Amino acid sequence: MFSSVSGRIQHERDRAEGLGSVQQAVQYQNQDFWALREECLQNGTVFLDPLFPAEPGSLGFKELGPISAKTRGVEWRRPTELSAEPRFIVGGATRTDICQGALGDCWLLAAIGSLTLNQQLLHRVVPHGQDFSHLYAGIFHFQFWQFGKWVDVVIDDRLPVKDGELLFVHSAEGSEFWSALLEKAYAKLNGSYEALSGGSTTEGFEDFTGGVAEMYELKKAPRDLYRIIGKALERGSLLGCSIDITSAFDMEAVTFKKLVKGHAYSVTGVRQLEYRGRQERLIRIRNPWGQVEWTGAWSDSSSEWNAIDSAEKDEMLCKMEDGEFWMSFQEFLHQFSRLEICNLTPDALSQDATSFWTTVTYEGSWRKGSTAGGCRNHPNTFWINPQYKITLLEEDDDPEDDQAACSFLVALMQKDRRQFRRHGEDMHTIGFAIYEIPKEFRGSAGVHMKKDFFLRRSSCARSESFINLREVSSRFRLPPGEYLIVPSTFEPSKEADFVLRVFTEKQSETEDMDDVLVANLDEEEEISEGDIDDSFRSLFAQLSGDDMEISVRELRTVLNRVVSKHRDLQTDGFSMESCRAMVSLMDKDGSARLGLLEFQILWNKIRKWLGIFREFDLDKSGCMNSYEMRLALENGGFKLNNKLYQMLIARYADNEIIDFDNFTCCLVKLETMFRIFQGLDRDGTGTVEMNLMEWLFVTMCG
C-alpha cells in the first residue's frame, strides 16, 4: 500500500514537471533504451528483455496460451536469424510493410497503415537511428501515447516464428522488420500479443498520436461528411472504417463484392472527378491484409475507368498500394457501417481555419464504495462519481449560425483494461452526463455536488451512449455558462482508472469539482476537574486503578463494554490499534496513558461521533453505507477529496459497510493528522518541511 501511495504522489509531481509530454516521454517500466544499448555494446552482447521474455506468457493466455494449438511449435528468432540482410526500414515506411499474421489485430494494422501516410507522426512513434548496422545490440524502442502521457517502450528483437515464418505482422518482402517490432512493443505495453486481439482503429490512432477520435455512424452521416473527410486527410488526420457484423459467424466474412465484415480498413484519400457529365465523388480505401479487394464500381478493373480522362486514370491507379482501391462515396456510405477519425491536434478539430481549440486532461478513478456510483439510473450513488466543471465563456465564430453557442468535445477513456483480459475482465461500459450549473452554484469552487442536486435536475447533454469501448467521445454546442461533467460506469461499484479530456474551441475554464481539503476542528476542549460529574469520576476510578490513569488495554475494555450495551450498533469491537490511536490523539504528556481530564474529553468526542453515526445510519441497521461516509465526515468537520475518500473507504470499510468502531477510528486518525499538520504549519501555507526523523516520528505517533 505504501509504495502505491508514494507512487501516486510521485506521479502527480512528475506530471507537474512535464514528464510524459511529447518532449519528455516516460521510460516504460523504468527501462532506459540508451543506457541498455550502450551496456550491450560495451559488453559485446545482445539485449534480452526480462520484462517481456521470449516465453509463452508473452504470446497470450487463452487462444494464444501455453497449451493452445496455435502456439505449438512457436520459436523466438531475431531478424538476424531470419534474413541474411535484415533491414529496419527500407526506402521509408510504407503501407505495404504491414501484412497481417495470425493475430486478430487488423484494427491496429489499419492504424499503423494510416500512420505511414504522415512521416512526421511515424517517426514520433518509430524513433530515428535504429537499424541492424554497427549500433545493433538486439534492442529497439518505440513511443506511444498512453492515457495522457507519452511512454518509451523498450524491447528485444526476438520475434515469434512458426514453421520458419513470422507468426504475426510481417512485411511483404520478408526482410523489413519495423512493423513486426512495433507490434511487439505495443503487445508489451498491453501485457501480451493476445491482448491486442479485437479493438477499434481509433484506439491505435490515439495511442500513436495523442489525438482525439470521433466516430460516425454512416447510416446517419452528416450531409458534409465528404468535406469533413477531405479536410481531415489534408490535416494529416488518421481515418478508419469498418462493416458491422450481426453475429459471430459474420466475423471476417467476405461479401459478394469482396469486402470483409468486421474488418478494419484505412481511408487513404478522396478525389472528385468528371464522370459522364457530372461530378463523381470517390474515396480510396485500403485493406491491411493487402489481398482481398473491392470488386464493385471503380475497382481496379471496372468499366467506370474507361469513361474518364486516361491521364487522370493512370495517375489515380498508379499511385495505389497493394490492397488499396477506389469506390464511389455513395457506395462507401452504403457498404460500410462506421467511420473513425482521429484528429491529431485540438486545432485540427475546428470547422474553419480561424478556430483554435485548447485541451485539458484530468486523471481520475472509480473505486468501489467511494467514487464508483454508476450512471443516473442509480440516484442514490450517482452523485459520488468524480465531477468536473467547464465554464464556456465565448461563443463560436460562425456567421451562418445565429445561435449563441460554444463548441466543445468531451472524451472519456478507461485505462489499462486490455491488461485485465488475462484475468477474465475486459472493458467496462462507460459514458458521461453534462448538467448546467444553476445560478445559486455559479462561481463556486471546490464543491462536490450532492445527491439532491441531481435528483432535482436533468442533464442538458450526455454521451451518445454508454458503451464498452476504451473511449467514449461526443461533440457538443451549448450556450455560454457553467456546466458539470460527470463521468461514470453504467453499473455502480465497477472499478477502473480513467482519463477525461475536454477540448474547447474558444476561451473556457475547466476545473476538478472536488472538495477542497478542510478540517473544521473545534478548539481543543478545556475542562477542569470541577466540570466532571461524580458518576463519571467514579467510573474513571474503577477503570484506572491505583495509578489513576487509563492504559490502552483498559480503554479497550471500557469502550467495548459500552458499545456492547448499544444493541442497535453492529460492531466487532475496538482493536488495540484503534485504542492506541485514541490515546495518541488525547495524550498530552507522552505517557501513552489517559488521565481523568483527557479521558473525559475523549468520551465527549465519542458521544458526538456516535450521534453522527446514528444520523447517517439511514436504514437503522447499526452500520453505515460507505457511500454516505462523505456526508458523515463532512458533518464531523472534514471535507476531503476523492483520492482521500478512496483511501479511507479501502481502509475502513468492509464490503462497502462501515461499523461504528471503524467510523470512530477513521475520525480519530483524521483529527490526529490534521492537528499535527496544523501545528507544524504555523504560517498556514499548506506546506510542511520535515527531515526523516521528524517524518518517522509523526507517522509512527500519528
Q: Which among 363, 383, 419 has a CA at the least distance from the CA of 14? A: 363
d(CA 410, CA 431): 10
Cα dihedral 463, 265, 219, 426, rounded to 10, equals: -40
Residue 402 exposed, middle or buried by CB count within 10 Å (0-12, 13-18, 19+): exposed
Which cell goes with 105?
489485430
Is the separation of the CB atoms in 267 and 239 below 8 Å?
A: yes
| Cα angle for residues 45, 48, 51 (degrees, 5° grid) | 150
Which cell goes with 635?
458533518
Selecting among 40, 106, 342, 665, the annotated active-site residue is 106
Q: For residue 80, how far is the Cα from the chain centroid?
A: 38
Annotated catalytic residue 378:
no
Supply the angle between the helices 660-680 and 576-586 in degrees, to the nearest 10.
Answer: 40
Q: Which among 646, 16, 62 has a CA at the least distance from the CA of 365? A: 646
The DSSP secondary-structure symbol of 421 reads G
Instruction: Tell me the one-letter amino acid at 678.
Output: Q
d(CA 208, CA 125): 6
Q: Which position has the grid cell 512535464?
A: 18
Which cell goes with 604?
465527549
The DSSP secondary-structure symbol of 506 reads S
Instruction: Report helix, strand or coil for 192.
Output: coil
* Number of helices followed by number of strands (H, E) in the chain: 20, 25
322 φ, ψ (degrees, to nearest 5): -65, 135
Is the separation of the CB atoms in 83 and 174 below 8 Å?
A: yes
Please report the beta strands in 293-337, taking only residues with DSSP state E, as ranges in sequence order: 324-328
Selecting among 141, 170, 263, 448, the annotated active-site residue is 263
Contacts of 123 (CB under 8 A, 6+ apart): none
Annotated catalytic residue 106:
yes
Q: Which position has the grid cell 506511444?
A: 144
List 503's β-bridge partners, or say none: 359, 409
Residue 138 Ramachandran class (φ > 0 left, ψ -120 to 50 alpha, else beta): left
Is the separation of the CB atoms in 209 and 344 below 8 Å?
A: yes
Annotated catalytic residue 123:
no
d(CA 393, CA 619): 44
Is the separation of the CB atoms in 596 and 548 below 8 Å?
A: yes
Selecting among 287, 343, 385, 642, the annotated active-site residue is 287
Q: For residue 344, how far is the Cα from the chain centroid?
A: 19
Which cell goes with 394?
465565448
d(CA 666, CA 677): 17
Q: Which among 463, 488, 228 has a CA at the least distance from the CA of 340? A: 228
Reduced 3-state DSSP string for 514-582: CCCCEECCCCCCCCCHHHCCHHHHHHHHHHHHHHCCECHHHHHHHHHHHHHHCCCCCCCCCCHHHHHHH
Is the separation of the CB atoms in 401 and 467 below 8 Å?
A: no
Instruction: Tell me the one-letter amino acid at 264.
Output: A
d(CA 648, CA 517): 14
Q: How many residues does the chain have?
A: 702
d(CA 316, CA 326): 9
| Residues that are catalytic | 106, 263, 287
